[in-house]
Amino acid sequence: MTINQIECFVEAARLGNISKAAEILFITQQAVSNQIKTLERDLGYTVLIRGSKGVSLTKEGEILFSYWKTILDNYRISIKQAQDFHSRRSRQILIGLEDMGKFSEDIMQALPEFGSLYKDLQIQSQTLPPKQMLSQFETGDLDLAILYESEFQSCRFLKSLPLHKHQMKVYLYFSHNHPLAQKSSLTLDDIKDETIGVLNKQYSLDFEKKMQAFFDYNHVAPPTNLLEYSSRRDLEIGLLGGQCIAIVYEEMFFNRNHQLISQEIDVGNNSSRMAIFWKSDTMYAKAHSLCEILTKYLHRYLS
């Protein structure tokens, strides 16, 4: 049976008249009759009694009608709600942003210029962890994402465009209150026994893996004393409190009062770039436009 058959049956039963059902369904009386006959043939029994004054329900028809009228109403409501959402969604561009510290501020400043290119669309942005971005890409609730390229390295269903050519620098961060602050120079071997702050896998898909790669590149055993944090801000607070040290990409922390000490680390090709990701082919031109704008705003960091 089909939704058209159910619709014709329910309306005929509700109105008690096939002609009136045809009128509100904007089809012919013959079409309604044929749909109901096909339904009865598929079911193997009669659901309507035809008479000179209209139609009435059989006992079987009463049972079906009692359930199917609700099903039909819900079907129509769901179609209307989906159409309304699609109409609104088609006029939006939803952008997911990973929290990347100072870079995120510049990206937010660039979005109004991007919006001026698409004045008929509503640009919306939201800071999201990469794992949630992937889920929203899969459901169609996200159009573009800006984050570290390495986060989505294994995602074959997404297209990407790097925002800069060279890989980002990597820095060791720790507080002035940390014992390491007393040393004039540091190597990875000096910090292998320290507590290392990392972002957990709910927040970052590759943070811990990248940190381990930094040690492998320098032929130093990866640390085992890891302290997980659920956000970049929480990690920065942990650093300021001397609870840990961290190995992160450049400009990840605001460090406004210079409370943190930073030292660049040689990690070879084990770093990453910032990139724009998208899934739908309809986002290709928009991703390239956004890339051009962001490259200009991020130039002072990544030139």
CATH of the domain at 178: 3.40.190.10
Answer yes or no: do 51 and 184 share one domain: no
pLDDT at 301: 62
Can you give the CATH number for the domain in which 59 is found?
1.10.10.10
pLDDT at 302: 61
pLDDT at 231: 92
Global pTM? Answer: 0.71
Contact call for residues 196 and 244 (beta carbons, < 8 A): yes
Q: In this structure, how many other beta carbons lie within 10 angstroms of the beta carbon of residue 113?
A: 15
103 phi/psi in degrees, rounded to 5: -60, -40
Query: Cα separation of 213 and 283, whole Å?
Result: 33
Answer yes or no: do 175 and 261 share one domain: yes
Question: What are the residue ranges in the chain where pLDDT is below 70?
Answer: 88-89, 300-303
Answer yes or no: do 178 and 256 share one domain: yes
Orientation angle between helical segments 29-43 and 3-15, nearest 10 degrees: 110
Looking at 68, 88, 108, which one is the last position of a domain? 88
What's the domain count of the chain?
3
* pLDDT one-digit tens code per residue, 58-75: 999 999 999 999 999 999
Answer yes or no: do 127 and 51 share one domain: no
Answer yes or no: do 234 and 175 share one domain: yes
Contact call for residues 100 and 203 (beta carbons, < 8 A): no
16 dihedral zone (left: phi>0; alpha: psi -120 to 50; beta): left
Answer yes or no: do 291 and 221 share one domain: no
Strands 122-127 and 92-97: parallel
Looking at 72, 88, 104, which one is the last position of a domain? 88
Strands 159-162 and 196-199: unpaired
Answer yes or no: do 155 and 293 share one domain: yes
Answer yes or no: do 33 and 176 share one domain: no
User: Contacts from 103-112 at CB under 8 Å and sequence distance 24+?
Assistant: 103/251, 103/274, 103/298, 103/301, 106/294, 106/297, 106/298, 106/301, 107/146, 107/294, 107/297, 107/298, 109/297, 110/290, 110/293, 110/294, 110/296, 110/297
Range of the structural domain that residue 234 is part of = 170-265
Nearest to residue 244, comparing CAs of 219, 226, 258, 224? 226
The one-letter amino acid code at 165 reads K
Answer yes or no: do 238 and 180 share one domain: yes
Answer yes or no: do 160 and 280 share one domain: yes
Answer yes or no: do 152 and 286 share one domain: yes
For tokens 């971005």, name the residue.
133
Answer yes or no: do 175 and 243 share one domain: yes
